[in-house]
Structure 1
């Protein structure tokens, strides 16, 4: 989970992908303890896969104790510790920047970190999407456009500006904060990383960078599952989009790597290890 993390997992099977994403949803609180899961057929339709694949994914989650089968047709989430959380109010604020490609699991990681700490999570899409969509329409573009020069040059910079401003406001109040966004341009720019670290250091806050790795097949599965309109262009031109995805990309400077695919540890376990290192002041 550190900068020296070199060995990355290989693409996993479809049932493992489904199990991993459902596990992440449970650990992030998207699926609640005691909640009944949709039927096998409904899950198969949602994930665009076979009933057999869903049954195999359920077998994995049942073996892990995250799902209980109450009958042939009813399975429920088993996560009694979801509401157990000790809010961490540190002497000096922490800023955790979580980046990754679309569908990598960065938002789920951010939610898990937020649940573990009680720190506010600021997600770029959640904070800015309604305004971004309105701005695109004013420019005569599709509200789902994320590829045009107009979006990339006129709107995208303002999204990240708003996200950063919200983080600064929290830090000024003494609050730690978790930021989630792709940060693809930003994290490859050593000068940007240095500026952000200096900005928050001046406010007595420590900045940590976390990159979420995920293999392309798993990213595709997750993107299709979430069904966001802004992803339509990616899915319709998947190979073209994939040509621009550098799975070996890592942020400039010290950082943590979380592996959200194949045989890697569950996301929650990795989140706790990253958090432990951040709080102990350990190097990335």
Structure 2
């Protein structure tokens, strides 16, 4: 049975780095092929061109114009690509914030996801304290973060930390300074 694994969380939490670190061990442990679909890699160049046409700023990934015009189509395309791989029997690791979808409990809803029968789904919520995520965003110096940083007070209102009691479907991963034991526990949970 193919697996659909989501690595979700807010900007700067290390979702992509964690996914890159775990995909090879996941393939070794499960014996299954995996496809890595990172929203920023998949849609980065397209979004740059579209936002340059819409707002004149190719690095805009957080303004109301982006959220109204590109956010949902990017996520739908990401899920369509994941679904296509799953139909072929290839497990998929999806990386993206997907915070609205997490908030709505949609990522464990096979009917909403339109998954092939037998697909196993798990969602990892990668989190950090806001001040550390903010510092990491500054350090990485990605031009796509400029709008977010310039409008941090507005952006931070979209950040939320799901309560484990309200989101039992999530695997919570504190990415502040995980040790080998924490990484092994996550790997074991995802490969079970």
Where on the TM-score scale, by shorter chain, does this alignment land: which range? 0.7 to 0.9
1:222 matched to 2:136? The reply is yes
Describe how 1:65-84 pairs up with structure 2 within 5 A: none
1:101 matched to 2:13? The reply is no
Query: Whose strand fraction is larger, Structure 1's or Structure 2's?
Result: 2
Question: What stretches of structure 1 of length at least 5 have no aligned partner?
Answer: 1-91
Match of 1:144 in 2: 59
CA RMSD, Structure 1 to Structure 2 (Å) = 2.3
Residue of 174, 178, 182 corresponding to 1:265: 178
How many residues were matched structurally? 185
1:278 matched to 2:187? The reply is no
TM-score, normalised with respect to structure 2: 0.84
Question: What stretches of structure 2 of length at least 5 have no aligned partner?
Answer: 28-33
Is residue 109–residue 271 contact of structure 1 (8 Å, CA) maintained in 2?
A: no
Residue of 81, 85, 102 corresponding to 1:170: 85
Match of 1:116 in 2: 25
Q: Which whole-Å CA distance do the structure 2 matches of 1:160 and 1:279 have between them?
A: 25
Match of 1:188 in 2: 103
128 and 220 in structure 1: CA distance in 2 versus 1, 3 angstrom threshold: same
Is residue 95–residue 179 contact of structure 1 (8 Å, CA) maintained in 2?
A: yes
Q: Which whole-Å CA distance do the structure 1 matches of 2:129 and 2:122 have between them?
A: 23
Describe how 1:18-33 pairs up with structure 2 within 5 A: none
Greater C-alpha radius of gyration: 1
